[in-house]
Amino acid sequence: MTVTAQLLKFFRVDQQLRGLQTRLTAADEFLAEQERQHGDLEAKHTKLATSVRQAKAAQQAAETEAAALETKMASLREQMNVARTNKDYSAFLSELNALKARKDEFEKTAIGHMEQIESMTKQQGEAETAKAERHGMVHKAKGDRTAKATEIKDRVDELKGQREALAKEIPADTLKLLNELIHKRGDEAMAHVEELDRRNHEWTCGSCNMAVTVQVINMITQGRLTRCTNCGCILFTENPDDVVSKKAKKADDDDVPAKRVKKPKAATKEAKV
């Protein structure tokens, strides 16, 4: 078996394995995305809960300050009722007005915190609902991922065994080249030679559609590792006889097809005489 044939067997087993693993990779990516979104919602819910607690504490502090000022204002009113002079009354009134202004500010602040608490509590409830829904999606995604992994496990193990066995038969440097091409080009690491016109010796690379010369075709039929000069993929053909005609096999290194030599007509006539 030629090295190209060995690479082709390895490539096709690896291709099947990558196809199965892609299905599992897609499930992993979906699960990771659901977990990320669930984590974002959980962080949002936690942040809102913290903000609500802080707002409630601030509201309580503002209400406490307002209540303390109200107590002071009540005391001032009592003193105003027993004031003996207009000067004392005016002083009490001025202080009362100042306390009232401060009390109004604290009450306004408390109302603002109440509105914030109401809004954040609503958002917290929405986040809680969304988090619960996303948790359900995470649970389902985990189940789907596990089911797919179980479904393909036996086949994956079988293909891995085949790939390891085939790898042992291929020269290390050649296998390294193919693995690099698979990593870079995926399913186009190897490409079939496409026949356009056998009579005119026209073939193309199945990956990039660039023309392939007769000399390259001859190298492939000889079992030599051959890469497309344009895209760099490894070229192969399932059956050399289906791609290369006898003329192509006998072509010289300059890619000039062999020509049949015809006898001159004059020579033919002399032969008859």
Look at 133-147, 164-178, 214-228, 255-269 and tell me which has the smallest mean pLDDT. 255-269
What is the arithmetic mean of pLDDT over 204-224?
A: 89
What is the arithmetic mean of pLDDT over 36-55?
A: 94
Q: CB–CB of 141/30 below 8 Å?
A: yes
Bridge partners (DSSP) listed for residue 197: 202
- Tens-place pLDDT, residues 63-73: 999 999 999 99
Cα dihedral 248, 251, 256, 262 in deg (nearest 10): -90
Q: Which amino acid, 67?
A: A
pLDDT interval class at 222 (50, 70, 90): confident
Cα dihedral 4, 221, 2, 178 in deg (nearest 10): -10
Say how far apart CA 189 and CA 233 lie, in whole Å: 5
What is the per-residue pLDDT for 245? 44
Cα 160 to Cα 11, 157, 163, 190: the distances in Å are 12, 5, 5, 20
What is the per-residue pLDDT for 84? 87
What is the per-residue pLDDT for 201? 77
* pTM listed for this prediction: 0.61
Q: Is the pLDDT of residue 46 over 60?
A: yes
What is the per-residue pLDDT for 195? 85
What is the arithmetic mean of pLDDT over 149-155?
A: 92
